[in-house]
Amino acid sequence: MDISRLTQSKMIGPLLRSLNRKRRRFEQKRRRRSWERLKGCCSGQRGWVIGNGPSLKVEDLDRLQGEVCIASNKIYLAFEQTKWRPTFFTIVDEILWPKIADVCAKHFSRIIIPEYLTTENKELESKLLYLHELPPASCDPAVECMFSPDLVAGSNGGYTVTYTNLQLAHHLGLNPIYIIGCDHYYAGENDVTTEEVVEAKAANHFHPDYRKQGELVSPASIDRMDLAFEHARTFADQNGIRILNATRGGHLEAFERVQFDDVLNEPTPK
């Protein structure tokens, strides 16, 4: 038996574990610093949370140039038709992320994702800002409001990226927060559990190529989303934040409705 090799092998394991622990602590500190820098950076401005529903029009995005906008997922499908680009880009879907991660790397300089999403793409890794995931908003908001006031600590899940984006908007200091393109209806998906994977059948998004027929996708749990939005509304009411739904039509009724055109005709808050 080679004693020197045996000794080396016994030393390597603890050394690697120690290095991994140090790396995790370093990454956590870097994440916290990034979120601390973003906190309140848009205070006093209005902002937009962009959904990808069929009511979203490319012309609407054209009109949002110069506004603080948060968008997600396959919003890049609109880029061939508009010069508008989101200020912040997010994705939380475990099934979608591996499919579009490399595409996102080409379109965005910073990508906000939860810690449970990973990548082997080194170029992409440098663009990621990780978000610590807190428990989902699943109780009565009157008992406990699970809408994170500070993303340095993390964000609460809400079964939809829109809920994450509302917490991001608040963290940035945006007020009022307008929602557009959130139709809140997913044909063929809302009758299954969140643990299932379903085949895309209907056109539930703004672009015809958003999902291919038969593509495996994460289902939409409307009831759980509704509960999460109740948490968002409760938090907003308690903290003097205005969350307003400027979506044309759709089924999202948790927030006061306003007309998109009327909002853009108002003076922009300074």
pLDDT of residue 266: 79
pLDDT of residue 196: 46
Residue 46 lies in a domain: yes
Same domain, 134 and 167: yes
Same domain, 183 and 198: yes
Same domain, 7 and 135: no
Are 218 and 95 in contact by the 8 Å Cβ rule? The answer is yes
Closest CA to 242 of 156, 181, 174, 196: 174
Same domain, 74 and 155: yes
Q: Is the pLDDT of residue 18 over 80?
A: no
Question: What angle (nearest 5°) sits at the alpha carbon of residue 75, between those of residues 39 and 203?
Answer: 135
Are 89 and 111 in contact by the 8 Å Cβ rule? The answer is yes
pTM for the whole thing? 0.84
Same domain, 224 and 138: yes
Same domain, 20 and 78: no
Are 254 and 226 in contact by the 8 Å Cβ rule? The answer is yes
**Number of structural domains in the chain:** 2
Residue 11 lies in a domain: yes
Question: What angle (nearest 5°) sits at the alpha carbon of residue 259, between those of residues 90 and 244?
Answer: 50
pLDDT of residue 22: 59
- Percent of the residues in the chain that have a pLDDT greater than 90, as a whole number: 67
For residue 176, cis peptide bond before it (omega within 30 degrees of 0): yes
Q: Strand locations in 124-238, DSSP E?
A: 128-131, 133-134, 155-156, 177-180, 198-199, 216-217
Residue with tokens 């939809």: 160
Helices assigned H by DSSP within 143-199: 161-172
pLDDT of residue 233: 98
CATH number at residue 248: 3.90.1480
Residue 270 lies in a domain: no
Same domain, 127 and 23: no
Same domain, 109 and 138: yes
| Pair of tokens at residue 173 | 């200091």
Same domain, 247 and 122: yes
pLDDT of residue 60: 96
Mean pLDDT of the chain: 86
pLDDT of residue 147: 98
**For the residues 81-94, what does the mean pLDDT come to?**
97
Same domain, 1 and 53: no
Greater pLDDT, 83 or 8: 83
| Pair of tokens at residue 42 | 């848009």
Q: Is the pLDDT of residue 203 over 60?
A: no
Give the residue numbers spanning the domain of 167.
42-265
Residue 114 lies in a domain: yes
Q: Is the pLDDT of residue 113 over 90?
A: yes
Closest CA to 49 of 239, 241, 238: 241
Residue 198 lies in a domain: yes
Same domain, 25 and 114: no
Same domain, 7 and 88: no
